[in-house]
């Protein structure tokens, strides 16, 4: 076999190279206006003399300088002058300060630099620009006039699943400060004191952690918003209104100065627009107005996207007309997961009579937990800055990996017209893993798309491979050999990253997908060789078609077994890598090679490429694409993260590749006393047999099966809504146990 298929030069080419950019282009976000004085690079100062008004020395902008590690020395030749508009030290630069909140003017010369901010936030951002530009030890002379397009920019920790750790949150806040994002909305769905037990005070230890997050945010120029979610069980009574006010006061006493109230993902009493407006007006008038040092209130509505909006009933228009105009209203776009454009902003702003506050559901992956999303942020309009009041991203539960996309989102919100998602993606990879950027880039190329999902939101992945894969599938031998080299590059990148010690938290998050990437790469390599083995220059007698076939079949099963192993993170249903182009191509090449071999040799080898013993189908749209996963003897269907509109007669069907013996089953639709509306059937001995359903108590939402299930053998199970009407339920868990 020729050694050329492991050509190192091609592998390195696939990894790409990171070039050292000019100094100002190290800065994120891209400044609005830059005037370079010359192309010469100077050595960055190792110390500087600091000049600022006394009132400025205790601000968070100066503290950011202290954290940089550059010494302040009154005898240093390089002089750094700081101030905000109105300060004596920057008086002569006042006319150059942009007339925008959070703006700044920065001037860098060989002898010193001046940063003059429109306010303290602008001064802080000017400091971050200076520090970013000298990060590689060099400096270039320039003047920069800069300000943000969007006033409020950042993230909402609003995903379902495992909340971020305290350490991860602290790291996120620092990342936001460095990249000029100024909002962190704390609203994890699985924090019980945010949602399910919203009336109750935080235990002391948890309260101290939130207090620390808030104080840390102040040091990094970030507004820490604490969100409460009362809609799940609120009663529109004075008692519940007072309970909400009491909880807000408790959080204010912890030091919180920014607040949000969520009414998303609920149904029933809590969804009434007039009641929501009445409550939030009361909060706005009696809490926000009372405390003069708090930010404007933010609310997330129940109809938070266009697909769910009922114009005839007028929910959004009721909020727009009845709710105080200084209350900000969040919006996810035309659907739950959607990019934002000019037309969609005009549509929502007309209805809520204010500029919407965008909650962008990317790179969140709580509805596709078997994927990790390492691609660029793109698809939003570059002309909507004037149409929105704020823009926050909902990231993944994998905080460190989310920074790749968040790097670009920070740039997009700051300077939309200059935004280049490809450039920012490359820079984001470098920022997250500077020591192994090339390997991370290769791995990330195969972890961009979400796969088929109920929201229909997809991302480009493997586009650069399509010309090659099309030729390979058409029988081009050279293309097959080149595709094999891409598989080797993926395997090498995964091996390199698994050994990386520079960012252990990132590697911990990526580990399940890194291990699966090795399986996918080895499978692709084996399949490519199966298509080349008939050529004399690839056949050396040691490697045979049958051997490669057995390896490929084994790897198919290994991919499935890894997906259902303890390598997964909590709540993770599987581990999908390269599912848009590379893996489907490998599967097609496998089938093609086996069919040709069977035809030539008269054998009957199986050409099935996708190994999975369980298949789920459903005519309930929101359930149709949920993955089935296995942990030991437990077979689970992943939860859905929204209200399920389960139509009358709609069913969920699970088919097994063989008869299994059932030991038990239970599922949670989030509603007490709902079992009577559903029928469970098992397919055994050629016919459907009904299994009884029950709740153990009147207020228990978990549905259990009757004793007749135990020991029953069947190949299919079906759950059907037989109530005669649509049922609004959740789909919190669904599990059966096999013997």
Helix and strand counts by DSSP (H, E) for the chain: 17, 27
Q: Is 265 a catalytic residue?
A: yes
CA distance 318 to 329: 12
Q: Are 348 and 331 in contact, with CB atoms under 8 Å apart?
A: yes
Cα of 709 vs its chain's centroid, Å: 40
Of 149, 265, 341, 370, the active-site residue reads: 265
Q: Burial level of 723, CB count in 10 A (0-12/13-18/19+)?
A: middle
Q: Pairing state of beta strands 733-738 and 634-637?
A: antiparallel
What residues form DSSP beta bridges with 705?
693
Helix, strand, coil distribution of the chain in percent, nearest 5: 40, 20, 40
DSSP 435: G
In the sheet with 33-43, reading across from the earlier edge strand, the strands are 33-43, 138-146, 104-108, 112-117, 79-84, 47-51, 71-72
**H/E element, 715:** strand 713-721
Cα of 704 vs its chain's centroid, Å: 34
Helix (H, G, I), strand (E, B) or coil at 614: strand
Which residues fall within 8 angstroms of residue 303, CB to CB, at 6 or more apart? 309, 310, 315, 316
DSSP 285: I
Query: What ranges make up the beta strands (E) of 620-686?
Result: 628-631, 634-637, 640-646, 651-668, 678-684
Which residues fall within 8 angstroms of residue 440, CB to CB, at 6 or more apart? 374, 429, 432, 433, 493, 497
CA distance 251 to 231: 19
Q: Are 442 and 488 in contact, with CB atoms under 8 Å apart?
A: no
List Cα–Cα distances, 681 to 665, 690, 691, 709, in angstroms: 12, 4, 6, 10
Nearest Cα to Cα of residue 231 among 274, 202, 195, 200? 195
Cis peptide before 188 (omega within 30 of 0): no
Which residues fall within 8 angstroms of residue 143, CB to CB, at 6 or more apart? 34, 35, 37, 105, 106, 107, 108
Nearest Cα to Cα of residue 207 among 258, 165, 253, 241? 253
CA distance 643 to 728: 6
Helix (H, G, I), strand (E, B) or coil at 199: coil
Q: Which residues are catalytic?
A: 265
């Amino acid at each position: 076999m020729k050694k050329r298929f492991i050509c190192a030069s091609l592998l390195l080419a696939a990894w790409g190279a990171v070039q050292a950019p000019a100094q100002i282009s190290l800065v994120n976000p891209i400044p609005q206006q830059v005037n370079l004085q010359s192309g010469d690079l100077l050595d960055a100062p190792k110390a500087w003399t600091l000049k600022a008004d006394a009132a400025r020395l205790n601000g968070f902008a100066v503290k950011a300088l202290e954290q940089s590690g550059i010494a302040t020395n009154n005898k240093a030749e390089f002089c750094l002058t700081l101030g905000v508009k109105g300060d004596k030290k920057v008086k002569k630069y006042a006319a150059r300060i942009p007339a925008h909140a959070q703006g700044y003017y920065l001037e860098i010369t060989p002898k010193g630099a001046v940063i003059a901010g429109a306010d303290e936030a602008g001064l802080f951002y000017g400091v971050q620009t200076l520090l970013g530009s000298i990060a590689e030890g060099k400096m270039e002379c320039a003047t920069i006039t800069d300000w943000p397009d969007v006033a409020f920019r950042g993230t909402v920790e609003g995903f379902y699943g495992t909340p971020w750790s305290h350490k991860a949150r602290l790291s996120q806040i620092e990342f936001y400060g460095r990249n000029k994002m100024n909002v962190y909305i704390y609203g994890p769905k699985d924090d019980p004191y945010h949602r399910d037990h919203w009336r109750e005070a935080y235990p002391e230890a948890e309260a101290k952690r939130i207090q620390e997050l808030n104080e840390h945010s102040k040091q990094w120029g970030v507004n820490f918003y604490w969100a409460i979610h009362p809609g799940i069980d609120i009663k529109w009574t004075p008692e519940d209104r007072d309970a909400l006010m009491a909880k807000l006061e408790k959080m204010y006493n912890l030091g919180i100065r920014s607040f949000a109230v969520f009414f998303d993902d609920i149904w029933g009493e809590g969804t009434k627009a007039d009641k929501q407006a009445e409550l939030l007006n009361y909060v706005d008038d009696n809490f926000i107005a009372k405390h003069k040092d708090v930010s404007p209130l933010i609310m997330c509505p129940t109809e938070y996207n266009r697909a769910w909006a009922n114009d005839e009933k007028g929910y959004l228009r009721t909020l727009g007309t009845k709710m105080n105009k200084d209350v900000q209203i969040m919006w996810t776009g035309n659907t739950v997961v959607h990019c934002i454009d000019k037309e969609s902003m005009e549509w929502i702003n007309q209805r809520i009579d204010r500029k919407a506050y965008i909650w962008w559901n990317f790179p969140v992956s709580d509805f596709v937990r078997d994927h990790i999303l390492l691609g660029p942020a793109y698809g939003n309009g570059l002309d909507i800055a004037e149409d929105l009041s704020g823009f926050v991203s909902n990231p993944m539960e994998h905080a460190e990996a989310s920074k790749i996309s968040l790097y670009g989102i920070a740039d997009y919100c700051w300077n939309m017209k200059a935004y280049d998602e490809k450039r920012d993606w490359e820079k984001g990879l470098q920022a997250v893993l500077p020591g192994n950027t090339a390997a991370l880039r290769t791995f990330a190329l195969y972890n961009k798309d979400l796969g088929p999902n109920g929201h229909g939101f997809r991302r480009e992945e493997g586009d650069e491979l399509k010309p090659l894969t099309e030729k390979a599938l058409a029988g081009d031998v050279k293309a097959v050999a080149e595709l094999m080299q891409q598989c080797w590059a993926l395997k090498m990148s995964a091996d390199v990253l698994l050994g990386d010690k520079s960012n252990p938290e990132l590697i911990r998050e990526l580990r399940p997908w890194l291990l699966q990437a090795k399986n996918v790469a080895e499978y692709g390599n084996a399949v490519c060789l199966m298509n080349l083995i008939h050529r004399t220059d690839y056949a050396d007698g040691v490697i045979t078609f049958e051997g490669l076939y057995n390896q490929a079949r084994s790897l198919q099963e290994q991919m499935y077994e890894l997906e259902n192993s303890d390598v997964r993170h909590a709540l993770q249903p599987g581990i999908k890598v390269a599912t848009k182009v590379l893996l489907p191509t490998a599967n097609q090449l496998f089938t093609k090679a086996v069919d040709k071999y069977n035809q030539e040799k008269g054998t009957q080898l199986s050409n099935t490429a996708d190994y999975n013993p369980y298949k789920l189908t459903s005519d309930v749209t929101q359930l149709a694409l949920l993955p089935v996963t296995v942990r030991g003897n437990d077979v689970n269907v992943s939860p859905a993260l929204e209200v399920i509109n389960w139509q009358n007669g709609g069913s969920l069907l699970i088919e097994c590749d063989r008869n299994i013996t059932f030991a038990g089953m239970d599922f949670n639709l989030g509603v007490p006393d709902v079992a009577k509306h559903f029928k469970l059937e098992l397919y055994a001995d050629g016919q459907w047999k009904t299994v009884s359903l029950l709740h153990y108590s009147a207020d228990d939402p978990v549905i259990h099966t009757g004793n007749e299930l135990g020991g029953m053998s069947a190949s299919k199970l079906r759950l059907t809504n037989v109530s005669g009407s649509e049922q609004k339920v959740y789909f919190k868990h669904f599990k059966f146990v096999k013997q």
